[in-house]
């Protein structure tokens, strides 16, 4: 079963929601966060990236940053103002980006089920990133970022959603990037119905937010004694929004490499051709089973299909990003770990292939690779198999906004 629990959310009053709502903490640099929050004292970036209010040379992991985050949240509770729901609530959260629309259930999900792999993962986490968000949660006494979950669509959940989303929303705003964010609060009857419906959903999948949920589990453990090891304590649950699988949208997560490891472009192209079929083409956007490579101001198509068919090691090993890593990046360019190699550059989401061309044409990169997006079905199959995707495999868009719903722990 997938347990979802209503919670007494801390949220902005509707008329201030647009000023508060901010991009997730981990999709912007400190400089970008500072620019986005400039002139807006209500931006939630003052909480999620509190270093923007300190000296420019402040270490973002300094103790002062976490103290500032706690102080800023207390200030926003008064200035916005934020309110705490009188009654534990669940919400439907819709994001609409152009013709794409997806609606998920916002509530609290069980960290015990995360421990037991009922909430399934597909990505490894980094201890330093876990350290940061764990410290942030403990400092502010809340989970301020949302875990993006997916589930195999349920007609019972959809029936409740269709009924609720015909009503007037609680919050409705269009962000500066043009994405519309709409929240509906469920009444008691609909809460009961959707909790029962989720009880028939066999499992959930982490789409985006592995570090948030891992950090929430660590915060729960640190608070266990203070909570008398109560499994019903708020810290034993994590704030998330669960979307049906058919509605989630994954965009390509493209790669660039700063140099060719002492190979000339001609030698590198010849080495690629010895390993995988390659042909000159004008198409920068590949079909599944191929990767488009931009080298020497020209696009090439590399055929990954035979290598994927021959891959051993499970579902994840046959993904396009895995074949690229195993057959080109590691053996030809010496990229053993894309997470730590300083030559790697990642271009996610809607920045598109024009950015890949710019990187090479400007000399910032020697070669770039345009990927076909991982599908939601691939993500679910990798997770069901208990495997891990290569790092930087999925880019989910549109992103949920921070500051609209906060879970006090």
Q: Could you read off the pLDDT of 262-283 as tens digits, one per residue?
A: 999 999 999 999 999 999 987 8
Say yes or no: 268 and 319 in one domain: yes
Say yes or no: 332 and 212 in one domain: no
29 occurs within a structural domain = yes
Q: How far is 287 from 364, CA to CA, in rounded Å?
A: 26
- What's the pLDDT score for residue 112? 98
Say yes or no: 22 and 134 in one domain: yes
Say yes or no: 171 and 306 in one domain: no
377 occurs within a structural domain = no
Tell me: the pLDDT tens digits for 181-234? 999 999 999 999 999 999 999 999 999 999 999 999 999 999 999 999 999 999
Contacting residues for 120 by C-beta, under 8 A, at least 6 apart:
203, 204, 205, 206, 383, 384
368 occurs within a structural domain = yes
pLDDT at residue 353 above 80?
Answer: yes
Looking at the DSSP bridge assignments, the partners of residue 107 are 240
Tell me: the pLDDT tens digits for 69-109? 999 999 999 999 999 999 999 999 999 999 999 999 999 99
Percentage of the chain lying above the pLDDT 70 cut: 100
Which H/E stretch holds residue 95?
A: strand 91-97
Nearest to 404 by CA among 6, 12, 42: 12
What's the angle, vertex CA 352, arms to CA 347 and CA 353, rounded to 5?
95
Contacting residues for 130 by C-beta, under 8 A, at least 6 apart:
211, 214, 215, 218
Which H/E stretch holds residue 115?
A: helix 111-115
The one-character DSSP state at 364 is S
pLDDT at residue 402 above 90?
Answer: yes
Percentage of the chain lying above the pLDDT 90 cut: 96
pLDDT tier for residue 332 given thresholds of 50, 70 and 90: very high
Say yes or no: 82 and 108 in one domain: yes
Q: How far is 226 from 375, CA to CA, in rounded Å?
A: 42
Helix (H, G, I), strand (E, B) or coil at 359: helix
63 occurs within a structural domain = yes
389 occurs within a structural domain = no
255 or 349: which leads in pLDDT: 255
Contacting residues for 57 by C-beta, under 8 A, at least 6 apart:
none
307 occurs within a structural domain = yes
Say yes or no: 145 and 53 in one domain: yes
Q: How far is 250 from 377, CA to CA, in rounded Å?
A: 11
Q: How far is 218 from 199, CA to CA, in rounded Å?
A: 25
Contacting residues for 308 by C-beta, under 8 A, at least 6 apart:
289, 318, 319, 320, 323
Residue 361, Cβ neighbours under 10 Å: how many? 11
Which H/E stretch holds residue 151?
A: strand 147-151
Residue 259: domain span? 253-372
pTM score: 0.94
270 occurs within a structural domain = yes
Say yes or no: 31 and 125 in one domain: yes
388 occurs within a structural domain = no
Average pLDDT, the chain: 96
């Amino acid at each position: 079963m997938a347990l979802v629990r209503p919670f007494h959310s801390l949220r902005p009053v509707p008329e201030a929601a647009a000023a508060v709502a901010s991009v997730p903490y981990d999709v912007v640099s400190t400089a970008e966060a500072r620019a986005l929050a400039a002139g807006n004292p209500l931006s939630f970036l003052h909480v999620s990236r509190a270093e923007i209010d300190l000296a420019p040379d402040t270490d973002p992991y300094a103790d002062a940053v976490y103290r500032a985050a706690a102080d800023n949240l207390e200030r926003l509770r008064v200035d916005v103002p934020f309110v705490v729901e009188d009654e534990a609530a669940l919400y439907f959260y819709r994001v609409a980006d152009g013709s794409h629309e997806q609606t998920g259930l916002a509530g609290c999900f069980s960290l015990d089920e995360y421990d037991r792999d009922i909430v399934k993962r597909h990505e490894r986490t980094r201890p330093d990133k876990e350290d940061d968000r764990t410290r942030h949660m403990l400092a502010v006494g809340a989970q301020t970022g949302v875990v993006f979950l997916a589930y195999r669509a349920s007609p019972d959940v959809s029936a409740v959603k269709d009924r609720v989303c015909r009503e007037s929303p609680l919050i409705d705003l269009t962000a500066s990037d043009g994405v519309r964010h709409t929240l509906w609060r469920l009444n008691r009857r609909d809460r009961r119905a959707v909790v029962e419906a989720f009880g028939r959903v066999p499992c959930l999948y982490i789409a985006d937010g592995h570090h948030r949920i891992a950090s929430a589990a660590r915060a729960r453990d640190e608070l266990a004694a203070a909570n008398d090891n109560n499994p019903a304590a708020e810290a034993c649950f994590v704030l998330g929004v669960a979307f049906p699988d058919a509605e989630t949208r994954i965009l390509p997560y493209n790669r660039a490499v700063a140099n060719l490891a002492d190979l000339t472009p001609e030698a590198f192209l010849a080495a690629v051709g010895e390993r995988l079929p390659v042909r000159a083409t004008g198409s920068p956007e590949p079909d599944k089973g191929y990767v488009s490579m931009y080298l020497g101001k020209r696009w090439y198509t590399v055929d990954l299909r035979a290598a994927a068919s021959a891959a051993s090691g499970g579902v994840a090993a046959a993904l396009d990003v895995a074949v690229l890593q195993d057959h080109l990046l590691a053996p030809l360019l010496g990229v053993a770990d894309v997470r730590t190699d300083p030559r790697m550059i990642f271009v996610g989401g809607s920045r598109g292939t024009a950015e890949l061309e710019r990187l090479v044409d400007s000399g910032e990169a020697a070669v770039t690779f345009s990927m076909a997006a991982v599908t939601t079905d691939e993500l679910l199959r990798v997770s069901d198999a208990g495997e891990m995707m290569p790092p930087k495999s999925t880019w989910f868009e549109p992103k949920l906004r921070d500051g609209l719903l906060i879970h006090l722990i």
